[in-house]
A = this chain, B = another copy of it.
Amino acid sequence: MTVGKSVTMQDIADRVGVSKALVSMIFRGVPGPSAETKERVLAVAAELDYRPNRTAALLSLRRTHLIGVMTDIRNAFHAEMVEHMVAEAAQVGYEVVLGPVTPTHAEADVIETLLDFRCEAVVLLGPEASDDALGAWGARVPLVAVGRRIKGVDAVRADDSRGMSVTVDHLVGLGHRRIAHLTGGSGAIGRDRHAGYRRAMHRHGLDDVIRVVEGDFTEQCAPSAVVDLLADAGNRPTAIVAANDRSAVGLLDALQRQGVSVPGEISITGYDDSTLARMAHIDLTTVSQEPKEQASRAIRAAVERLDSGRTDAVSSVLRPRLVVRGTTGPVATHVV
């Protein structure tokens, strides 16, 4: 199909009997044109179903007011942030173009595509590229990395270590001492959370009851972890801090199968405040990474570079928020 020739400013101008410059002014709302011509132009435009050609406008403007957002579209947490970014960008006069990372479109491809669309800045959600690669991109275009520790480019993330700390604090406040940790593997995020756990335990003088079992961010790792943790009946943890919601849900299930009550005998916490955690029958105590705030800071960081000429990299580390739900409770008083 040949895409139909669309109505242009010239068409309107001809029809009304004015110049297209005038039509342009009217559509951009600049003062000048008389109320009467304005009215006639608008009328004809409506009649012809005219829609301004953004492509042409941008070509001439050399500005696009586009912010590219690279995201793993399958990631619910990303989705939540994207939603807020769209709103935030609109408020400050920008529009978001999504660049979905998929099995067929790697990170580098996506960034290239975003740049092809003439995005003036790019926001990368959970980028996995190397620090060097990101630095190189950052030299070419205003770049904001979200959810990851990195220097030299703008960064926005939640403080995972601190998130784990407040979780442990919460449990200690409930009287728990034997608090175990189910890890999230050896990636950057898993490591940060693990470190946060250890630091918090240390701060409470609980070094001697630190207990760590290896996990992988999925529910699959939970059953064996539970077997491991419950093995020595006299030395059971009274609480388990999982590295994320998904593995926490796995724990919930495994414990239930073992007939261990939550939070009666063991308290459980997750991380992410995902949809899963909010489900009524799961009702998991977890940590929110403040997706809305991260989204708005990321957009603001990009816009600052674009509109206010900021050139030094800023790093925004958000304080995560503990969301107390039903899987944590006071430690059983009659512990052996």
Q: Which residues of A contact B (CB under 8 A)?
A: 1, 3, 5, 49, 51-56, 58-59, 62-64, 73-74, 76, 79-80, 82-83, 86-87, 90, 95-98, 100, 102-105, 113, 115-118, 120, 140, 142, 218-220, 222, 249-250, 253-254, 256, 279-281, 305-309
Question: Are B253 and A281 within 8 A (Cβ)?
Answer: yes
Question: Are A82 and B54 within 8 A (Cβ)?
Answer: no
A250: contacting residue among B104, B250, B281, CB under 8 A: B281
Residues of B within 8 A of A253 (CB): 281
Question: Are A102 and B83 within 8 A (Cβ)?
Answer: yes
Q: How distant is A57 from chain B, measured CB to nearest CB, in Å?
A: 10
Beyond A54-B118, A55-B118, A116-B51, whether A98 also contacts B95 by CB under 8 A is: no
Counting chain B CB atoms within 10 Å of each CB, the highest count among A1, A63, A105, A140 belongs to A1
CA distance A95 to B98 in the complex (A): 12
CA distance A218 to B140 in the complex (A): 46
CA distance A104 to B220 in the complex (A): 38
Residues of B within 8 A of A280 (CB): 218-220, 250
CA distance A195 to B3 in the complex (A): 41
13 A–B pairs (Cβ distance < 8 Å), ordered by A: A1-B120, A1-B142, A3-B62, A49-B140, A55-B59, A74-B79, A83-B100, A83-B102, A86-B102, A87-B104, A96-B100, A97-B97, A222-B281
